[in-house]
Amino acid sequence: MPLAYMSNYSWEDIAPIPQDDGGENPLAPIAYQDDYKTATGYLRAVMSVEEVSDRALQLTSDLIFMNPAHYSVWAYRARLLFALKKDLEQELIWIEEVGQQFPKNYQIWNHREVIVDKYHNPIRELPFVEVMLELDSKNYHVWSYRQWLVRRFDLWLTELPYTDRMIENDVRNNSAWNHRFFTVFGKGVDIGQSVIDDEIDYAKRAILKAPQNASAWNYLLGVLKRAQRPISEIEEFCSDLAAATGTEQSVDVDIDRIASTRALEVLADIYASRREVEKATQAWTLLAEKYDPIRENYWKFKKAQTDQHFTATA
């Protein structure tokens, strides 16, 4: 929409400050559109005198719809809203409109944090966040905002059931798994072993639905590490998925029954943790040559690293 600031009598007292791209003959001037150049000229002018007015607030609205990533505009807008004592609920409604047009813009979510923190009322936030995650269930900025909300307003009780639904809808949604880990461990209180057992079982059930899904495997291993429990605890589970059997010195894999190369990867780490170097090496060789050759160099690195470590400590 054309912006006629120069012909608007309400702005006739303001002399816009032009963009300085490096003197009279800049080497690489930025090709802003004329409307944006005009609006930012007036923005620099009002910000230079720290003007607090409704017209300045409207100017920020115009600029945000032209460039929602302009951090200075958002920061100035927040100062104006608070100084003018504007209705912050109306601002939240306005942000929802902007957010649905530019859902992956970080500044929008940062601004919403600032407003909600000042407003002290999260009543409309989780429903709005759920709408945004229905549009894009892996939007990192929305998930980060949700975590801020949970911490800021102590909303922990809602989160496990919510991640249940999100993971049920898409077991490969890494963002939902990450949020579940945040929910279980992010409060900073002692976690009972029964909770850890429940989360291990939960991750195992999800892995059985999609044995190659990295998200569920990462969650399972993350829970074990955070709880300081050995990965050997899931050896039998991994052996079943990798169709692996073995003696003390060797490991055999049933080629026709292997369900998860990730299980074989974890088995290799379990063997290495017990100093069963030959078995670990055999597992990494199978991964490099047969099951995951695209990462052949990585598996060779793992083998070399393990050989070097145990040679040095022998």
Closest CA to 288 of 279, 301, 276, 275: 301
Looking at the annotation, which residues are catalytic?
A: 104
Give me 15's structure tokens.
């002399």
CA dihedral (123, 125, 131, 133) in degrees, to 10, reads: -140
What lies within 8 Å, CB to CB, of 280 at 6+ separation is: 268, 269, 271, 272, 303, 306
Distances (CA, A) of 50 to 43, 45, 79: 10, 9, 10
Buried b (16+ CB within 10 A) or exposed e, 262-271: bbbbbbbbbb
Q: What letter does residue 29 receive in the DSSP assignment?
A: -
Cα 3–chain centre separation: 36
Phi then psi for residue 205, to 5 deg, are -60, -40
